Chain A
Amino acid sequence: MKENTVLEVRDLSMHFGGLYAVDKANLSVKKDEITALIGPNGAGKTTFFNCVTGLYTPTTGKIFITPQGKKREEIDSLKPHKITNKGIARTFQNIRLFQNMTALENVMAGRHRLLKAGILHAILRDKKTKEEEEKVVHDSYEILEKIGLTKYINELAKNLPYGAQRRLEIARALATDPFILLLDEPAAGMNPNETRELDNLILRLKEDEKLSILLIEHDMSLVMRISDRIYVMDYGKIIAEGKPEQIRHDPLVIKAYLGENYNV
């Protein structure tokens, strides 16, 4: 069981002054599984993501990853771009696309780490660079195809419909060629139809791309449908962990979501 773990977070804490946004959280993501992190608003889920991806330096705690066929390594205290280069990609809760770039360019920017061309290559545009550029267009197009966004390739990201923007974020994250994908509320603001499509997309990513996915989501039906395991966070602490059906009936979880006096 242990060797299946691709991401392991141990006793992670993030303090802002007196506020314990994340408090000794333990979590692990297993290979080829969809793990969900749920909890009420302000529970510290996004902060948790920011710590894992290096945007915040955690106050204490350790984060380990185990890439396929490689040894386990520690990634806390690395810079964000270094962590991405280790194979962790993420999306953002409040969409952070490159608004004035086209959809294709967004994905191409995501491809950055897999390309080599430097200043001189860019200026001289030798054969190798040309080929690399052609390949990145090609690959990016394929990623967009997978996500179903090909009709928007040359549209500026800011002009895309909301649902498409959310999906473009996923496409851009995929472009970095990760083995762990962190999705921060991918269904936020989507209508039921779009959510349904998202379901399929995430499941497909898990099956076809062999991705291990950790997602934050408020849409419980989505979480229950697709997750293999669920962690529940409240006031920065992980208060429960288990399979969807266990979580559904966990009294602690119900209390955290609905308050003391709610009877199921």
Chain B
Amino acid sequence: MKFSYFIELFLSGLTKGSIYALLSLGYTMVYGIIQLINFAHGEIYMIGAFTALIITTILAYTGMNALAIAFLAIFLAILYSAGYAVTMERIAYKPLRNSTRLSALISAIGMSIFLQNYVRLLQTSDFLRFPPLIPEFGFMRYVEHIFTSTQLVIFVSTCVIMIILTIFIKFSKTGKAMRAVAQDRVMAMLSGININRIISVTFIFGSVTAAVGGILISSYNAQINFNIGFMAGIKAFVAAVLGGIGSIPGAVLGSFVLGWTESFGTGYISSDYEDVFAFLFLILILIFKPEGLLGRSTKQKV
């Protein structure tokens, strides 16, 4: 095979991986703190993208500067996604904090179906064209045919968000509290940590990264629809599990591995089976190394 084809697949895998990383962070953090697979996480990403689309379209009429529109749209989309995530947690998850994991998971599935159909009914079930929010950079001119400006922005913003998040969780007071809650919720509560606040903060972080991911991927794909979040959400969850759920570097690594698997799988084997590669990979990992690539093997407490 030609080397340039390999590079192209590598770069497209990198882009995919970056998006999965932005999404899987939310999964991994929420799972770390309340041991819930937040099935509706993909919907937050979709809602972020939809909000951004609506705001850009409206602002475009006011004749505002394109860059200002982009910033405003991203800012509001993040704000709204966070609002949805926190509200969702209050309604669907908080009352179930002491019930079984199965109940909470079913509630999350319910929330996911609800949000998808809420957008479908109030907006549309058709695909909508998504405006390019990211300008073409002049210096990317020579590599544009294999790596566009949008792809560059996606990769760079993923890295930046990742670094900020890691630093935050490692060193800030809230980050330390988050880790404490993840370790032992009751003990954390007894030492004066406001659990509800920490859980909300976790959901906010997750939704912010998801919204950024949603906007970036939508401007990369140039179209959106009410169910883009579902598959993306499941894939991101796959990535989180691959890396070892609950671990932030694991989620990032898992995302890139998944991105490359899909991209090389579609490139060299068959493009019809893109999702099959991801799922098969997940099944193999879970069977042979259930704790994931970077997860710690934990004995179930008896």
Assess A/B contact in the complex (Cβ within 8 A).
yes
Chain A residues with CB under 8 Å of chain B are 16, 46, 50, 55-56, 92
Query: How far, in angstroms, from A92 to B299 measured CA to CA in the complex?
Result: 17
Please, which residues of chain A bring their CB within 8 A of the CB of B302? Answer: 46, 50, 55-56, 92
Please, which residues of chain B bring their CB within 8 A of the CB of A56? Answer: 299, 302
4 shortest A-B CB distances, which residue pairs?
A50-B302, A55-B302, A16-B299, A56-B299
> Which partner residue on chain B sits nearest A47 by CB separation?
B302
Query: How far, in angstroms, from A56 to B300 measured CA to CA in the complex?
Result: 10
> Which partner residue on chain B sits nearest A49 by CB separation?
B302
Report B290-302 CB contacts with A as 1/0, cut-off 8 Å. 0000000001001
> Which partner residue on chain B sits nearest A16 by CB separation?
B299
**In whole Å, how far is B186's beta carbon from the nearest beta carbon of chain A?**
14
A-B residue pairs in contact (CB < 8 Å), sample of 7: A16-B299, A46-B302, A50-B302, A55-B302, A56-B299, A56-B302, A92-B302
Query: How far, in angstroms, from A46 to B299 measured CA to CA in the complex?
Result: 14
Please, which residues of chain A bring their CB within 8 A of the CB of B299? Answer: 16, 56
Query: How far, in angstroms, from A55 to B302 measured CA to CA in the complex?
Result: 8
**In whole Å, how far is B103's beta carbon from the nearest beta carbon of chain A?**
13
> Which partner residue on chain B sits nearest A50 by CB separation?
B302
> Which partner residue on chain B sits nearest A92 by CB separation?
B302
Report B274-302 CB contacts with A as 1/0, cut-off 8 Å. 00000000000000000000000001001
> Which partner residue on chain A sits nearest B298 by CB separation?
A16
Query: How far, in angstroms, from A56 to B299 measured CA to CA in the complex?
Result: 9
Query: How far, in angstroms, from A131 to B277 measured CA to CA in the complex?
Result: 52
**In whole Å, how far is B241's beta carbon from the nearest beta carbon of chain A?**
22
Query: How far, in angstroms, from A50 to B299 measured CA to CA in the complex?
Result: 12
Query: How far, in angstroms, from A8 to B299 measured CA to CA in the complex?
Result: 25
Please, which residues of chain B bring their CB within 8 A of the CB of A55? Answer: 302
Query: How far, in angstroms, from A155 to B299 measured CA to CA in the complex?
Result: 33
Query: How far, in angstroms, from A125 to B302 measured CA to CA in the complex?
Result: 36
> Which partner residue on chain A sits nearest B301 by CB separation?
A94
Complex interface residues of chain B between 203 and 253 (CB less than 8 A to chain A)? none
